[in-house]
């Protein structure tokens, strides 16, 4: 191997001609500041223009460039060749999602789940715009801020074996977003979301593997949101025996 070059194995899958994905090896020029998506760009521009992969912002905020790098869910933009000099690099599409083409995973199921949890502020007592904004103290913000930093990249779904084994499970990011709205002092939609929390596919589908929090590129810690959801679900179970919920 040329000292200035590095080998990168990339998963290929062309649905019109392949029955299954396979690995293809490329040699890319090495630089200390070269990220995985820089390497993929080099391949697409210089070696094989048919390579498909998602990317956009290059700064870990759009959540588009999630791949499995040596079996670990990573964002391509904040993962660098320099950290793989001794191990080599294998890039695959995000685990636990169907492969659409090459490195493009179909994350549609995840996006539908995000919609399902009603990720918006729900008010029981509608307030007029003329009454001004809903005020919130810094202490109230702290209760959910961490969970609002999710960029919907899907790395936590690729990390979650429970979702891999049964994708009926709502999964880390959707349950975290649900918890984020339930914890928001401006929101009054807890009763509308509690059935999702309580369901077998809700928080109880989680066995606290904890890898979601390990791979999260934004420090959101979905595992903590889900465990707190379990506390909420248990409390709701007891409370519903004492004081039946009003039908929503």
Partner 1 sequence: MSKRKPYVKPMPANWFMANRFHTLYMLREGTSIFVGLYSLIMLWGLAALVKGEAAWNNWLGHMENPIYIGFHLIALVACLYHAITWFSLAPKAMHLQKGDQKISDKPVVVGHYIVFVIATIVILGFVAWGGAA
Note the residues at the interface with partner 1 (CB under 8 A). Answer: 13, 15-16, 20-21, 71-72, 95-96, 98-100, 106, 137-139, 141-143, 146, 161, 164-165, 183, 207-211, 213-214, 221, 223-224, 227-228, 230-231
Closer residue to partner 1 (CB): 38 or 167: 167
CB of 223 to partner 1, least distance (A): 5
Q: Which is nearer to partner 1, 13 or 30 (CB)?
A: 13
CB-side neighbour CA atoms (13 Å) of 218: 22
Looking at the DSSP assignment, which residues form a beta bridge with residue 89?
A: 8
Cα–Cα distance, 38 to 19 (Å, whole number): 28
**Residue 236 CB, nearest distance to partner 1 (Å)?**
16
A 10 A CB-CB count for 133 gives: 8
Buried residues in 213-225 as b, exposed as e (16+ CB within 10 A): bebbbeebbbbbb
**Of 16 and 32, which CB lies nearer to partner 1 in the complex structure?**
16
3-state secondary structure of 181: helix
Give the nearer residue to partner 1 in terms of CB position, either 145 or 245.
Answer: 145
d(CA 155, CA 63): 9
CB of 34 to partner 1, least distance (A): 25
Nearer to partner 1 by Cβ, of 148 and 227: the residue is 227
Contact predicate 32/123, CB 8 Å: no
Tokens of 118: 């009603």
Shortest Cβ distance from residue 193 to partner 1 (Å)?
17
Query: Cβ 137 to partner 1, closest distance in Å?
Result: 7
């Amino acid at each position: 191997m040329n000292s200035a070059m590095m080998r990168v194995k990339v998963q290929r899958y062309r649905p019109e001609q392949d029955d299954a994905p396979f690995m293809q090896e490329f040699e890319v020029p090495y630089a200390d500041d070269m990220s995985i998506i820089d390497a993929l760009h080099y391949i697409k521009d210089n070696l094989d223009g048919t390579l498909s992969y998602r990317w956009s912002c290059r700064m870990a905020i759009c959540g588009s460039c999630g791949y499995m790098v040596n079996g670990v869910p990573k964002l391509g933009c904040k993962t660098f060749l320099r950290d793989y000099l001794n191990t080599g690099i294998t890039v695959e599409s995000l685990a636990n999602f169907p492969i659409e083409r090459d490195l493009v995973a179909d994350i549609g199921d995840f996006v539908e789940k995000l919609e399902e949890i009603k990720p918006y502020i729900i008010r029981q007592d509608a307030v007029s715009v003329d009454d001004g904004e809903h005020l919130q103290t810094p202490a109230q913000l702290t209760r959910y801020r961490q969970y609002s930093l999710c960029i919907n990249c899907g790395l936590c779904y690729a990390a979650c074996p429970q979702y891999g084994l049964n994708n009926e499970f709502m999964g880390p990011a959707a349950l975290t977003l649900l918890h984020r709205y339930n914890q928001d002092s401006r929101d009054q939609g807890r009763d509308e979301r509690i059935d999702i929390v309580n369901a077998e596919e809700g928080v109880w589908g989680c066995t606290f593997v904890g890898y979601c929090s390990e791979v999260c590129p934004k420090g959101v810690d979905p595992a903590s949101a889900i465990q707190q959801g379990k506390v909420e679900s248990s409390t709701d179970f007891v409370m519903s025996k004492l004081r039946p919920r009003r039908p929503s």
